[in-house]
């Protein structure tokens, strides 16, 4: 191969690499999930009470209690409310006020709408990443 052919191959590959990288690290991975209303206060409460010490969101956190990413759609509000209002032998009762319970439920509903954990029914996009809006089933 002559020097100029090598150069053409080299610069084509570099250009393709730069294009793909800039796409995947910008447009390819940006998804907006605006958090609004009660969920904002719920998120603050979730941090203040350190729920993450025992629970996981999106698979990250403590392992004493279960993952809470999809607890709202899997178990439902009545079930979640019972834990928040009373605690159990293993989970502390935080003596939450009604407004605080509502805010936490709003936050968990928001988290539920943003993802699935563990990732199920995922699809690969044409450019090689996992679709961040997987089909909920
Ligand atoms: C000291 C550890 C601990 C902390 C802190 C804690 N939890 Fe829990 N939680 C648990 C355990 C353990 C369970 C499972 C309890 C059981 O089955 O008796 C649980 C269960 C739950 C459940 C039911 C989940 C399911 O799938 O069955 C919800 C909802 C929940 N916790 C929410 C919260 C929220 C919100 C907070 C913060 C306000 C919180 N927890 C703080 C330990 C904790």
pLDDT along the chain (137 residues), means of 10: 90 96 79 89 98 96 97 97 97 97 98 86 79 58
Please indicate whether residue 43, judged by its CB atom, sits closer than 6 Å to ligand 1. no
pLDDT for the residue numbered 137: 47
- Cα of 75 to ligand 1 centre, how many Å? 13
Question: Which residue, chain included where needed, has tokens 């009604």?
Answer: 98
Question: Which residue, chain included where needed, has tokens 């991975």?
Answer: 29
Q: Give Cα separations from 82 to 26, 63, 109 (angstroms).
A: 42, 21, 16
**How is domain 38-114 classified at the CATH fold level?**
Cytochrome Bc1 Complex; Chain D, domain 2 (1.10.760)
- Cα of 23 to ligand 1 centre, how many Å? 40
């Amino acid at each position: 191969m002559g020097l100029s052919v090598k150069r053409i191959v080299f610069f084509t590959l570099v250009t393709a690499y730069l294009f793909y990288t800039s796409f995947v690290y910008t447009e390819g991975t940006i998804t907006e999930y605006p958090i609004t209303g009660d969920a904002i206060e719920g998120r603050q409460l979730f941090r203040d009470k350190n729920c993450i010490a025992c629970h996981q969101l999106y698979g990250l956190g403590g392992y004493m209690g279960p993952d809470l990413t999809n607890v709202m759609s899997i178990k439902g509000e009545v079930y979640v409310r019972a834990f928040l209002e009373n605690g159990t032998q293993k989970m502390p009762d935080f003596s939450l006020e009604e407004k605080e319970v509502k805010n936490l439920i709003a936050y968990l509903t928001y988290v539920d709408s943003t993802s699935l954990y563990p990732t199920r029914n995922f699809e690969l996009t044409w450019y090689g990443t996992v679709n961040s809006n997987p089909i909920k089933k």
